[in-house]
Amino acid sequence: MVARNAVRISTHFWLYEFASPDTGAVIIHPVLLYRLELLRLAWGDPLLIASGYRSAAHNADPKVGGLPYSRHLDGRAVDLPIGTVEVPGPHSVPWWRARGWIPSTEVDILHALALRVGWSAGQVHDEGDHVHLEVG
Ligand SMILES: [Zn+2]
């Protein structure tokens, strides 16, 4: 069986990665995908999409905590998860990077790379446990 939305949409991303988890429906703005691919190339390691497109129902779920006019609702935002680096401990920078998470000690690096590939400062938000990136 072929997985739903198993369509490669750029060098590093598949359509299903952006789908709303409740319905599998997906919308993605082409500029978001373009910039995300540039960011992935600059970052040099996988980028896990913790949240991409959200259906209205999924966005309204209290566990999701989406804002009423969230850009996730029309495929113009993604969230990249942040992992807490523990030194000493197993959760090192390479450990998180290999899994596609942003190490907590490298959020500033990701932010700088995002600006370099075209995002503006107002479109990149450190939300504590994830980085939210959006396009206008
Ligand atoms: Zn977000």
- What is the per-residue pLDDT across 19-37, written as a single tens digit (0 to 9) for each? 999 999 999 999 999 999 9
Is residue 2 left, alpha or beta, with left meaning phi > 0 and alpha meaning psi from -120 to 50?
Answer: beta
The full set of domains in the chain, from first to last, is 15-134 (3.30.1380)
40 and 111 Cβ atoms separated by less than 8 Å: no
Going by pLDDT thresholds of 50, 70 and 90, the confidence category of residue 2 is low
77 and 71 Cβ atoms separated by less than 8 Å: yes
116 and 65 Cβ atoms separated by less than 8 Å: no
Calculate how far, in angstroms, residue 52's C-alpha sits from the geometric centre of ligand 1. 8
pTM more than 0.85 = yes
Calculate how far, in angstroms, residue 47's C-alpha sits from the geometric centre of ligand 1. 15
Task: Give tens-digit pLDDT for 53-103.
Answer: 999 999 999 999 899 999 999 999 999 999 999 988 899 999 999 999 999
Q: Residue 1 above 80 pLDDT? A: no
Calculate how far, in angstroms, residue 41's C-alpha sits from the geometric centre of ligand 1. 21
Q: What is the mean pLDDT of the chain?
A: 96
Calculate how far, in angstroms, residue 1's C-alpha sits from the geometric centre of ligand 1. 31
Q: Residue 121 above 90 pLDDT? A: yes
77 and 32 Cβ atoms separated by less than 8 Å: yes
Calculate how far, in angstroms, residue 60's C-alpha sits from the geometric centre of ligand 1. 13
Calculate how far, in angstroms, residue 90's C-alpha sits from the geometric centre of ligand 1. 28
Beta-ladder partners of 126: 131
